[in-house]
């Protein structure tokens, strides 16, 4: 019985097969393009344009309204921290 290696990309999709192992990909350290089905997920020109506009707009808002932006950023990070802490406590109780 052969065991097929599983390869996971950054988006969480998992691919199994001997083809990746034969090509020299390490199971633990492989970094490769995300593949869903037969389609390789790559950033297009329009994705780059959209990301640039969103990041530029966010930087403009943060620079224009520093006190409000700091409060919102700190609030968002606090909610994220509480969410992670809740999950850790929940899993520790099991």
Residues 6+ apart with CB under 8 A from 37: none
Q: What local confidence, expressed as pLDDT, does residue 12 receive?
A: 55
The number of residues making up the chain comes to 94
On average, the pLDDT of the chain sits at 76
- Cα torsion angle, 43, 44, 48, 51, sign: negative
- Name the DSSP letter for residue 17: -
Domain boundaries, the chain: 6-41, 45-93
Mean pLDDT in residue range 11-21: 53
Q: What local confidence, expressed as pLDDT, does residue 30 receive?
A: 47
Q: What local confidence, expressed as pLDDT, does residue 67 receive?
A: 94
The residue ranking higher by pLDDT, 64 or 2, is: 64
How far is Cα 51 from Cα 84, in angstroms, rounded to an integer? Answer: 27
Tokens describing residue 93: 């109780």
The dihedral over CA atoms of 39, 40, 41, 47, expressed in degrees to the nearest 10, equals -90
The percentage of the chain sitting over the pLDDT mark of 70, rounded to a whole number, equals 56
Q: Please check the confidence at residue 16 and state whether its pLDDT lies above 90.
A: no
How far is Cα 3 from Cα 34, in angstroms, rounded to an integer? Answer: 22
């Amino acid at each position: 019985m052969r065991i097929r290696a599983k390869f996971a990309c950054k988006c969480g999709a998992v691919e199994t097969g001997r083809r990746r192992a034969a090509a020299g990909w390490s199971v633990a350290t492989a970094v490769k393009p995300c593949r869903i089905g037969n389609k390789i997920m790559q950033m297009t020109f329009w994705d780059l344009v959209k990301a640039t506009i969103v990041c530029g707009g966010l930087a403009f808002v943060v620079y224009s309204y520093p006190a409000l932006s700091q409060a919102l950023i700190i609030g968002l990070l606090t909610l994220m921290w509480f969410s992670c802490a809740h999950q850790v406590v929940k899993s520790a109780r099991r």
